[in-house]
Amino acid sequence: MEKEKEVTIYDLARKLNISIATVSRALKDDPVVSKKTKKKIFELAEEMGYRSNHFARNLRNKRTDTIGVIVPRLNSYFMSTVIAGIENVANNEGFNLIISQSSESAQKEMNSVKTMFNNRVDGLLVSLAYDTEDITHFETLYRKNIPVIFFDRVAEQDMCTNVLIDNRRAAYEATKHLIQQGCKRIAHITATPKRNVYIDRLEGYKRALAEFDLPFSNDQLIIGNLSQEDGALAAAQILAIPERPDGIFVANDNSAVGCMLALKQAGIRIPEDIAFVGFNNDPVSKVVEPNLTTINYPGYEMGEVAARNLINHLTGIATITSTNTILLRSELVVRGSSLKNKT
* HSE toward the beta carbon, residue 12, CA cutoff 13 A: 29
How many Cβ atoms sit within 10 Å of the Cβ of residue 299?
24
In 3D, which of 267, 266, 233, 265 has the Cα closest to residue 250? 233
pLDDT digit string (tens) for 22-44?
888 888 778 888 989 988 888 88
How does pLDDT run across 77-87, given as a tens digit for each residue? 999 999 999 99
Confidence grade of residue 52 (pLDDT, cut at 50, 70, 90): low
Neighbours of 73 (CB within 10 A): 15
Q: What is the distance between the alpha carbons of residues 16 and 27, in angstroms, rounded to a whole number?
A: 14
Helix, strand, or coil (residue 4):
coil
Domain with CATH 1.10.260.40 in the chain: 9-52
Q: What is the pLDDT of residues 200-215, one digit of tens each?
A: 999 999 999 999 999 9
Smallest CA-to-CA distance from 163 within 324, 311, 312 is with 324
* Reported confidence tier of residue 138, pLDDT bands at 50, 70, 90: very high
Task: Specify whether domain 167-297+332-338 bears CATH 3.40.50.11540.
Answer: no
- How is residue 104 annotated by DSSP? T
Average pLDDT of the segment spanning 163-178: 96
CATH architecture of 9-52: Orthogonal Bundle (1.10)
248 confidence band (pLDDT: 50, 70, 90):
very high
324 pLDDT exceeds 90?
Answer: no
pLDDT at residue 323, rounded to an integer = 59
Residue 100: strand, helix, or coil:
strand
Signed CA dihedral, 74, 75, 80, 81: sign only: negative
Give phi and psi for 152, each to the nearest 5: 60, -80
**Considering the chain, what is the average pLDDT of its residues?**
89
Give the per-residue pLDDT at 241.
87
Instruction: Transcribe 260-308 into DSSP letters.
Output: HHHHHHTT--TTTTSEEE-SB--GGGGTSSSPPBEEE--HHHHHHHHHH
pLDDT at 61: 54
CATH 3.40.50.2300 location in the chain: 66-166+299-330, 167-297+332-338
In this structure, are residues 67 and 95 in contact, taking their beta carbons and an 8 Å threshold? yes
| pLDDT given for residue 1 in this prediction | 43
> Is 93 in contact with 311 (CB distance < 8 Å)?
yes
pLDDT tens digits for 254-308? Answer: 999 999 999 999 999 999 999 999 999 999 999 999 999 999 999 999 999 999 9
From 52-66, 150-164, 208-222, 302-316, the region with the lowest mean pLDDT? 52-66
The pLDDT score that the predictor gives to residue 106 is: 93
Residue 55 has pLDDT above 60, yes or no: no
Q: Which CATH number fits domain 66-166+299-330: 1.20.1090.10, 3.40.50.2300, 1.10.3720.10, 2.40.30.10?
A: 3.40.50.2300
**pLDDT score, position 156:** 81
Task: Tell me how far apart the alpha carbons of residues 193 and 157 are, in angstroms, rounded to a whole number.
Answer: 18
Which H or E run includes 200?
helix 196-211
